[in-house]
Amino acid sequence: MSEWSPAPAEGYLPIEDHGLIGDGRGCALVGRDGAISFMCVPRFDAPPLFCSLLDRHLGGSFLLAPDRLRQSRQHYVEDTGVLVTDLHADTGVVEVTDAFLLEPGARLEEDAPAGRGELVRHARVTRGSVDLTVALRPRGGAQSERRAGGWELTCPRQSLKLYLSASRPLSGPQCTLPLNEGEDVWVALRWSERRAPHMSPSIDRRIKDTEGVWRRWSAHVVGDTPRADLVRRSAITLKLLDHVENGAIVAAPTSSLPEHIGGDRNWDYRYAWIRDAAYTVFALRRIGLPDEAGGFVHWALTAAQREGRLRVLYNVEGRPPPVEVIDDELGGYRNSSPVRWGNAAAEQVQHDVYGEILDCAFQWAATGGTLSDGLWHRLAGLAEQARTAWKTPDHGIWEVRTRGRPFTYSAAMCQVALDRAARLATRLDLPGDATTWAREARHLSGRIIGDAWDERMNSLTEHLGPGGGLDASLLALPLRRVLSADHPRMVATTRAVAERLGAGDGLLYRYLPQESPDGINQPEGAFLLCSFWLVDNLAGQGRVDEASQLFEKLCSYASPLGLFAEQIDPSDRSFLGNYPQALSHVGFLSSAVVLARTQRGIRPELSTHAWFR
């Protein structure tokens, strides 16, 4: 058990001291102190019901904890999204089980909603006696009225009506319940119109049913990888970020958790990035979960068709996210303001989106997915756009807030779009100029090798032409089969990235802002995804022992619950950025699969699918 320690001087739990629960529509972060400090329902990108993680005074929370808390620990019920927090107080111990309830028998791989629109918190005293605090405080306040079986709360800020019920009478949404050893209480919070029966005797059964839904889904995860326990947990975490109704996958469940304490690199990640979602479905397919790829491809192309163009990111309905605004009321996590809602990157130009979707469609078809005539027509249109898009500046994978540049990664993903379109047309006898697409893909690979190379740095650089800085996104080129990992210029680039962008202990910065202006010009933490990319490159270069050692080091950066942050502060290993971060889990899964196959004697560049051979 980890000792309970006082919160930092600013009064906030560390980011890593939180677990994620959800139902494929909305989700919540549960702290090791028994408080739900961030929660968005009925969908991921809704105005937060609780966000004390961004302001402990004004953000609102849902506390279920004993008085005089001294120690705590958390764990997930194995292979599920159900979280257990053990809370040790002066007088006794309480076990709190938190779950977003799922319908009995639901199948998470289907697009039918599995959630009931209900959060259950079940507290049981395992030793001694406690005074259990129940404190439901939505952000912006709520009007509460007693109803049969509990309380009805109207939350004007969220335009949401809540129903609070419990197995014991509650004197109000904020009250104290004395409990002795062996006694328990469940508290249910509902936001759907459906009403659950008061004093239901089957609460344990409903939680067990929810566990069963998760276990049936996670049973499909392959088990022959290094750190199979973390692989299963990463798969479940990514599924918690998957909007089950349509295949959208949000980048993270939170907004404005800072990439540097005291800085203003604070962004809203509760939306579906084309890039992040494509990486996610690719990772899930590689560990035995292919169904999410088809849902994502249809969602992304439907969103693009609706507007007549392809955006960088969308809300979970496939529409433009809200305009980015600063919330002047909230002070930010550990006083790191500003807090932002919405994301201005939605208006940026990023050419990598063509390759992300074509690659995802390729993976989908390669594992038996069907491409209808209409779907293929739209995919072929994206390939045609990629033929010329790479020649014009864009804002790149890191979404710089400066003028556009001809980023190498963006050009590489246009190469991916052309290559995958050619392979699909050839393999499936689909209409389109496969010969031209393949020829131009080869030509673009050559331009990248030549135009992005800097003799002085002995490395590829961030953009085509002179003057580019070093960028860790170059490590992704072998992963997307633009260059082989053992190409001499890729080997040299890997060495340069590790040396010049290294932050110590296996960590890497994305780039150096003083050399690669991004419009922010502030420090940030080390970006965890980039280090997993380094693992894959080392393995592809035959440096398997080094890759395995780095992989194990990176696994130590997971939280006690097995969750990965976006960034790590190299000075103290604390978590930074929105959490848990889909891309970090994707990078981990990719490295686990690459190492598993390398250790079985399969060359990494041949391990994706026979369609590449």
pLDDT band at 601; cut points 50, 70, 90: confident
Looking at residue 197, what is its pLDDT? 44
Q: CA torsion 342→344→350→356, rounded to 10°?
A: 0
Looking at residue 607, what is its pLDDT? 45
pLDDT band at 55; cut points 50, 70, 90: very high
- The answer to whether residue 84 scores a pLDDT higher than 80 is yes
What ranges make up the beta strands (E) of 138-222? 143-147, 150-155, 160-166, 174-180, 184-190
Q: Which domains does the chain have, with CATH numbers?
A: 15-195 (2.70.98.50), 224-612 (1.50.10.10)
Looking at residue 113, what is its pLDDT? 65
Looking at residue 38, what is its pLDDT? 98
- The answer to whether residue 606 scores a pLDDT higher than 50 is no
Mean pLDDT across the chain, nearest whole number? Answer: 92
Which residues touch 430 (CB under 8 Å, ≥6 apart)? Answer: 371, 376, 380, 424
Joined tokens for residue 205: 């059964």
What ranges make up the beta strands (E) of 170-232? 174-180, 184-190
pLDDT band at 281; cut points 50, 70, 90: confident
Give me the half-sphere count of Cα atoms (radius 13 Å) on the Cβ side of residue 496.
24
pLDDT band at 480; cut points 50, 70, 90: very high
Tens of pLDDT, residue by residue over 531-561, are: 999 999 999 999 999 999 999 999 999 999 9
Q: CA torsion 146→148→149→150, rounded to 10°?
A: -10
β-partners of residue 94 are 87, 125
Average pLDDT over residues 355-383: 89
Percent of the chain with pLDDT over 90: 81
SS3 assignment, position 489 = helix
- The answer to whether residue 608 scores a pLDDT higher than 80 is no
Looking at residue 307, what is its pLDDT? 76
